[in-house]
A and B are shown apart, each in its own frame.
Chain A
Amino acid sequence: MTAEAAIHEHFEEHVHPGASVYVTVAAFLVVLTAMEITVFYVSALASVMIPLLIILSVAKFALVAMFYMHLRYDSYVLTSIFMFALAIAALLLIALLLLFAYLSHYLWFMVPLARILLPGH
């Protein structure tokens, strides 16, 4: 098999969706954004605003990555590259937030261990 034929075959294997799927995803994205804005303005939802906004944001993120960036259809190698980088990025963000403010409150389970490792600290 020639190189060009191999590549052609490779692209044939990863068929991308048609316009109807793209438009449907766009509709979902619009609805999710509308929901986000609703959550922001409705004061009754203030107590659950953070988890709701995070869920909605993750849903939008995933839709774009899976359908528009074709991760759902392309090789797992590409998904692995992105997901690993995303995991490191998320860990970095969480670690910095914890280090600057929340460490002593949310990592309470580490305190006994810290006492053993750092007697008198």
Chain B
Amino acid sequence: MAAQPKPIPAEYPSYLKGDPIGWLNTIDHKRVAVLYGVSALLFMVLGGIEALLIRIQLFEPNNKFLSAHAYNQVFTMHGTTMIFLVVMPLLLGAAANFIVPLQIGARDVAFPRINALSFWIFLSGAAFLHMGWFWHHGGLPDAGWFGYANLTERQYTPGMAIDFWDIGLLILGISTVLTGLNFFTTIVTMRAPGMTYMRMPMFVWSILITSILILLAFPPLTVGLIFLFMDRFFGTHYYQAVAGATPILWQHLFWLFGHPEVYIMALPAFGMISELLPTFSRKPLFGYPMMVYSVILIAFLSYGVWGHHMFATGMGPVADATFAITSMLIAIPTGIKIFSWIATVWGGSLRMTTAFYFALGFIIEFTIGGLSGIMHASVPIDLQQTDSYFVVAHFHYVLFGGVMFAILGSFYYWWPKVTGRMLNEKLGKLQFWLTVIGFNGTFFPMHFLGTWGMPRRIYTYGAGMGWTFWNQFETVSAFILGLAFLIMFINLLTSLFNGEIAPADPWDGRTLEWSMPSPPPAFNFVTIPEVHARDAFWARKYGSTGSRASQAPAVAGDPPNTEAAEHIHMPEPSFFPIVLAGGLLLCGLGMVVAWWRLIMAGGAIIFLSIIGMAFQYPTFGQKTHETEAASGGGGEDLRKVGVWAFIGSESVFFATLIATFMVYKSRNLGGPGANVLEIPLTSFSTFILLMSSLLMVLALAATQRGDRVWQRVWLCGTVIFGLIFLGDQAYEFTSLYGHGLGFTTDLFSQCFFTLVGFHGAHVAIGVIWLSVLLVASFMDRLPKSRALSVELAGLYWHFVDIVWVVIFTLVYLMQKVKGA
């Protein structure tokens, strides 16, 4: 048994203590995690009630409990809520936010203010999704969480509900991408000394790979939602066959995001299980390197399997075969993980806690979901099962039997670290068994019902279909599942007020979070730990051989050292994140109700908040916790890594826009098409933008030399060249309108204006960014020591330049090449 922790001195209170207002402006990753967790649990209640409404409606044939329209709203919001407002925030916002910095030995995430911003934007997006309730022409979205086109077009779904869904998901997407950017940068740059990639805890690995998935998978969804927005508000026809477009484009864009999204939810769950099983088996994780490679391979393959959601659309035998093969391949690394988990438990000194129960339950339930998933990789079988209840059974075994079991296990595992209180194990085990009974009773019979032909998404069924008994069985089971969650909430609440005080290391843990007090102080570590082995804390306790007798156990609790703690600088709390998120909410609301003043007000709030946040960055001559971490981690400046990761995400965004342009450019040409594009004008614009890049690097060189005069000259030149480019673009657009090429003239024009317009918007943002730097330069606040600020703006500017290089070639110079 590990040694008992020392008490925390009163001058270093836990992160939970403090002014309640401090929860609004907090940027502490642990508090942000708690905010995420509480919000997600509230939405879990909402999503759970929606699930029970579905089951009540299907309890008997020809039921009138819900109307068809209400049923559509309920199942749409159940899916949307559970995925975007419950599972993802619990895994990433709550668990990863709290645990990752502790496991890698960092004091916070790379960008604490952006972390808080992610949460408040998440809350704005969640509120936005539900705003239809309060609107006369609103109501809740009713086109499914997948929002298939062209059901979502205005003529098929009038009113505001889809608008709220569309813009709500765009807002949530911003939050998620910021979160992914933050975790990626944190893990790459802020690991404790000695924590090499192959010494990282498996949960950290899973979050690193998940972050990459987020950065590269969300842009196609963003583009798809933007197209839908334009169709509904500006009269374009991105998904309308009658205009020569195809609704299948939405399916491609959605599932390009949607299948990686499955792994965005599954990989963190895999990481959790990989933490729980070794701890409660008292053995190292079996086959750690293969587990790492498997996560990487799963993530990579997950980009190439989206078509298996679309076999029924008739993509053709070659495409079907390609996606069938990639979908089957993904079973190999997944199988490796399952066997490694079993081998981890095998022969271990097992400790049968509630968390371990859920971890074992995960292996069984997830494997069932995985096996039915492989069936869907086979095209002939999938064509029989698609859109039936068999699919509902499959994905609930993956997302509930897999992901939710991991989340529930993790609640019991990490709750003591988060709150400083233990959960009741008896209630926990009761919850586990009720969950197993309720879950399997609800979802296993769906395999039968699907095979017997019961379609998913129907709001009722006839009495003679033979589906009544199993539907009634499922409904009763669903209420048992609801009871299990009720017990969990009772357990959580009683633990908060009356739970046993948690020691620092209640499970004899293996990773660094167990080395500090429960709950930890605000700054996490007094001294950043040095890591010498994979299971860092276990090695400190028992020696790197894992033998308990080899070394005297280390003391859990990492007692604060007054002298050292005085030198820790934590960034100041900030209200800008909550204000900015409020601006985003206003902006979105203004778009839905077409009230330009509201959009302008929201935009102004966003703009001012971003400027405010930028000037709050604590690098102006003082040592910060970020810079300490940057030198201790991967050696790269975290802001530079963050900007590059953002550029990577933007690359996929523009690739999606360009792909759509290439697909649609020759379809249904009602207007003059590419013939009216002016090559001389755009050649001049290209020259101007390329030369602006030259001025930008010269500005950077001047800053690095400390030459303020030339710094201002070159920066000013870059801004002027950027403005000339924008002026050229405005002239070009006006000229094209004069030639009869309007935004909604045909598919070519809408794709052209969208692609080139988004590039122009990026140039405009770059001009604003550089103008702020120019002002800073004239205020003598851009010295040589802040050359990195110029370099970061330059990276963004050059990226905009190389995107234009591609657009100039593919859109303007290859105008005579036929589209796909």
Which residues on A are within 8 Å of B, measured CB to CB? 1, 3-4, 6-7, 10, 16, 18-19, 22-23, 25-26, 29-30, 33, 36-37, 39-41, 49-50, 53-54, 56-57, 60-61, 64-65, 67-70, 74-75, 77-78, 81-82, 84-86, 88-93, 95-104, 107, 110-111, 113-115, 117-118, 121
Q: A68-B693, A90-B655, A97-B820 are in contact. Are A19 and B698 (CB under 8 A)?
A: yes
- Select from chain A the residue with minimum beta-carbon distance to B649: A85
Q: Can you list 12 pairs linking A and B with CB atoms under 8 Å apart?
A: A3-B632, A29-B690, A33-B687, A37-B679, A40-B679, A68-B693, A68-B794, A89-B654, A91-B304, A93-B662, A99-B315, A115-B317
Question: Quick one: CB contact mask for B629-640 with A, threshold 8 Å, 1 for yes?
Answer: 011101111001
Asked whether, in the complex, the Cβ of B641 is within 8 Å of the Cβ of A81, the reply is yes
| A36 to B634 Cα, complex, angstroms | 41
Instruction: Report yes or no: B683 in contact with A37, Cβ–Cβ below 8 A.
Output: yes
Q: Which of B134-142, B320-328, B543-551 contacts the other chain?
A: B320-328
Chain B residues with CB under 8 A of A26? 690-691, 693-694
B670-712 CB contact bits vs A (8 Å, 1 = yes)? 0000000001000100110011011011101100100000000
Give the residues in chain A near B805, CB-CB below 8 Å.
57, 60-61, 64
Give the CA-CA distance A97 to B304 in the complex, in Å: 14
B627 within 8 A of A: yes
Which chain A residue has the least Cβ–Cβ distance from B628? A3
Which single residue of chain A is at the shortest CB-CB distance from B797? Answer: A68
Q: Residue of B at shortest CB range from A57?
A: B809
**Is A118 a contact of B379 with CB atoms below 8 Å?**
yes
Given A40-B813, A101-B820, answer yes or no on A69-B798 (Cβ-Cβ < 8 Å): yes
- How many chain B residues touch A (CB < 8 A): the figure is 79
Q: A110-B318, A121-B379 are in contact. Are A93 and B659 (CB under 8 A)?
A: yes
Q: State the Cβ distance, B57 to closest chain A Cβ, in Å.
A: 37
The reply to whether B318 and A104 contact each other, CB–CB distance below 8 Å, is: yes
Q: Is A103 in contact with B647, judged by CB distance below 8 angstroms?
A: no
CB distance from A22 to the nearest CB of B (A): 5
The answer to whether the Cβ of B652 comes within 8 Å of any Cβ in the partner chain is yes
What 1/0 flags go to B578-589 for Cβ under 8 Å of A?
000000000000
| Complex CA–CA separation, A104 to B278 (angstroms) | 49
Partner of B627, one of A4, A50, A99, A117: A4
* B644 with A82: CB separation less than 8 A: yes
Among residues of B, the one whose C-beta sits closest to the C-beta of A102 is B820
Q: Which of A33, A82, A93 contacts B655 (CB 8 A)?
A: A93
Cα distance A10–B787 in the bound complex, in angstroms: 14
Chain B residues closer than 8 Å to A82, beta-carbon distance: 644, 647-648, 651
Residue among A49, A91, A121 having the largest count of chain B Cβ atoms under 10 Å: A121
Contact B652 A88 (CB under 8 A): yes
Name which residue of chain B comes closest to A120, CB basis: B380
Q: How far is the CB of A25 from chain B (nearest CB, A)?
A: 8
Is B49's CB within 8 Å of the partner chain A? no
User: Does B321 lie within 8 Å of A113, measured CB to CB?
Assistant: yes
Across the interface, do B627 and A3 meet the contact criterion of CB distance under 8 Å?
Answer: yes
Bound Cα distance from A7 to B698, whole angstroms: 23
- Per the bound structure, the CA–CA distance linking A99 and B314 in Å amounts to 11
**B663–A97 contact, CB under 8 A?**
yes
Assess the B652–A77 pair: CB atoms within 8 A: no
In the complex, which residues of chain B have a beta carbon less than 8 angstroms from the beta carbon of A90? 655
From known contacts A37-B683, A77-B641, infer whether A64 and B798 are also in contact, taking CB-CB under 8 Å: yes
Please determine whether B697 and A68 come into contact, CB atoms closer than 8 angstroms.
yes
The answer to whether A85 and B663 have CB atoms under 8 Å apart is no
Question: In the complex the two chains form, is A61's CB within 8 Å of B679's CB?
Answer: no
A93 to B223 Cα, complex, angstroms = 13
Distance in Å from the Cβ of A4 to the closest Cβ of chain B? Answer: 7
Residue on A nearest B215 in the bound complex, by CB? A85
Indicate if B390 sits at the interface (CB-CB under 8 A): no
- Check B655 against A89 for contact (C-beta < 8 Å): yes
